[in-house]
């Protein structure tokens, strides 16, 4: 199963909105005779490649698969009947598929045709691997990673409205690699006005367009913002509230004329972000990195829509004039689970999940 998970990982950044899936076929002597992974959304599933690779050697063998084989016809045919026809004697599945179109039906099909089925091997790792897929189905929104760069004294900028680069070259390379693998990056309007960022993935290969989202309740972003000059990299979506305001209507039309998409959300408070994120699912967004500053971070944290944190801590201090991030009393890194800490040059990256799987 570890091999199957490693194979699935190779599809990162290419399979969304589908899950990453790996499959391995092992014969009765314990020899791997087939391997496969889901390469791209709309393409053949991992089981198809693994069974093709195994050929006749699949008969009587064991299939290890990171996700329950599907049993419905979508862009590709169902995999569970294919597993049966290949003569697989035993199927070891990491985790069931939460998609209502599958949800146990694939397992039931295998069992009904005499395949010995085991479920739950390395299930936690398999769920983490496909966190975006599981989050969309269970919470009806993308998996949200809150990303922030902090000084040693927990500040995000040298002063209000100031752009203060904090991370070094190694951390920046990782940040852009991560941007190349997620579906969307989001910021608040304050970040756009203060930093005028491009919000692109630079120096890293990206298989598909990158969606950029700006949470801008009052549409204060000027149409001349730099990210609107990079529409070839992917769509730019502004999310605002539905309050009647003639000036806002003019600003909305100006942003649309500049090529932006404007989503109007009729909700306030924490529901604004919840509704905005649910709208992103309809646009194919299953994973979203929330960059930006303390205002949008606090709103997301208080709304309970943050699933994962990625914190880059630099060795410098910004002092009392610096702009503070969320206080330790609001958000404690010590409360994260499945934590990973990595040194990147002089910076320290801490990443972990807000809650367990399930």
200 plus 341 within the same structural domain: yes
Length of the chain: 358
The 3-state DSSP composition of the chain as helix, strand, coil percent (nearest 5) reads 30, 25, 45
**Contact call for residues 276 and 254 (beta carbons, < 8 A):** no
The string over 184-214, giving b where at least 16 C-beta atoms fall within 10 Å of a residue's C-beta and e elsewhere, is: bbbbbbbbbebbebebbbeebebeeebbbbb
Catalytic positions? 47
113 plus 155 within the same structural domain: no
Tell me the Cα Rg of the chain. Answer: 23
pLDDT at 173: 94
Residues 6+ apart with CB under 8 A from 228: 236, 255, 258, 259, 260
> Could you tell me if residue 256 is inside a domain?
yes
- pLDDT tens string 218-233: 999 999 999 999 999 9
> Could you tell me if residue 283 is inside a domain?
yes
142 plus 118 within the same structural domain: no
31 plus 46 within the same structural domain: yes
141 plus 196 within the same structural domain: yes
121 plus 156 within the same structural domain: no
Last residue of a domain, one of 112, 128, 144: 128
**Mean pLDDT of all residues in 178-203:** 92
Last residue of a domain, one of 128, 148, 182: 128
Residue 324's domain comprises 131-353
Last residue of a domain, one of 101, 128, 155: 128
**Distance set, CA 48 to CA 95, 147, 284 (Å):** 18, 37, 24
> What's the pLDDT band for 201 if we cut at 50, 70, 90?
confident
> Could you tell me if residue 298 is inside a domain?
yes
> Looking at the predicted structure, is the pLDDT value of residue 30 above 70?
yes
Instruction: State the Cα–Cα distance between residues 311 and 119, nearest whole angstrom.
Output: 34
Number of structural domains in the chain: 2
**Contact call for residues 289 and 148 (beta carbons, < 8 A):** no
**Contact call for residues 285 and 235 (beta carbons, < 8 A):** no
pLDDT at 42: 86
176 plus 273 within the same structural domain: yes
> Could you tell me if residue 311 is inside a domain?
yes
200 plus 283 within the same structural domain: yes
pLDDT at 358: 54
What are the beta bridge partners of residue 187? 214
> Could you tell me if residue 173 is inside a domain?
yes
**Mean pLDDT of all residues in 170-195:** 94
| CATH value at residue 320 | 3.40.430.10
> Could you tell me if residue 358 is inside a domain?
no
Closest CA to 308 of 66, 134, 155: 134
307 plus 326 within the same structural domain: yes
153 plus 290 within the same structural domain: yes
pLDDT at 131: 96
| CATH value at residue 70 | 3.40.140.10
- pLDDT tens string 300-312: 999 999 999 999 9
**Contact call for residues 186 and 285 (beta carbons, < 8 A):** no
pLDDT at 74: 66
325 plus 218 within the same structural domain: yes
Strand ranges (DSSP E) for 172-300?
Answer: 184-188, 211-215, 236-241, 261-265, 287-290
> Looking at the predicted structure, is the pLDDT value of residue 194 above 90?
no
Element spanning 274, H or E: helix 270-282
> Looking at the predicted structure, is the pLDDT value of residue 140 above 90?
yes
188 plus 106 within the same structural domain: no
> Could you tell me if residue 94 is inside a domain?
yes
Q: Look up residue 174 and give its two tokens.
A: 């990782």
Residues 6+ apart with CB under 8 A from 89: 60, 61, 62, 115, 116
């Amino acid at each position: 199963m570890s091999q199957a998970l490693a194979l699935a990982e190779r599809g990162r950044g290419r399979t969304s909105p589908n899950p990453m899936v790996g499959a391995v076929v092992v014969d009765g002597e314990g020899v791997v005779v087939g391997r496969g992974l889901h390469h791209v959304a709309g393409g053949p599933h991992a089981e198809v490649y693994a069974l093709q690779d195994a050929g006749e050697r699949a008969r009587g063998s064991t299939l290890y698969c990171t996700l329950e084989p599907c049993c419905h016809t979508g862009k590709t045919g169902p995999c569970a009947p294919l597993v049966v026809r290949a003569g697989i004697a035993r199927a070891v599945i990491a985790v069931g598929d939460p998609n209502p179109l599958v949800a146990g039906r694939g397992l039931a099909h295998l069992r009904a045709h005499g395949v010995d089925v085991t479920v739950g091997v390395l299930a936690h790792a398999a769920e983490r691997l496909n966190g975006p897929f599981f989050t969309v189905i269970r919470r009806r929104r993308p998996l949200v990673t809150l990303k922030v760069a902090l000084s040693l004294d927990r500040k995000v900028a040298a002063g209000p409205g100031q752009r203060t680069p904090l991370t070094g070259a190694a951390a920046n390379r990782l940040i852009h690699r991560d941007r190349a693998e997620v579906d969307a990056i989001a910021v608040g309007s304050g970040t756009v006005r203060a930093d005028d960022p491009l919000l692109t993935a630079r120096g890293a290969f990206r298989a598909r367009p990158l969606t950029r989202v700006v949470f801008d309740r009052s549409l204060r972003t000027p149409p001349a913002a730099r990210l609107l000059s990079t529409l070839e990299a992917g769509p730019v979506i502004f999310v605002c509230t539905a309050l009647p305001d003639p000036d806002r209507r003019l600003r909305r039309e100006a942003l649309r004329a500049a090529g932006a998409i404007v989503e109007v959300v009729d909700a306030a408070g924490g529901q604004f972000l919840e509704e905005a994120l649910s709208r992103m699912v309809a646009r194919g967004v299953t994973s979203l990195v929330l960059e930006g500053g303390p205002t949008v971070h606090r709103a997301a944290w208080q709304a309970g829509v943050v699933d994962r944190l990625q914190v880059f801590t630099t060795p410098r201090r910004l002092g009392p004039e610096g702009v503070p991030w969320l206080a330790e009393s609001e958000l404690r890194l010590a409360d994260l689970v499945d934590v990973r800490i990595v040194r990147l040059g002089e910076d320290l990256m801490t990443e972990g999940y807000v809650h367990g799987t399930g």
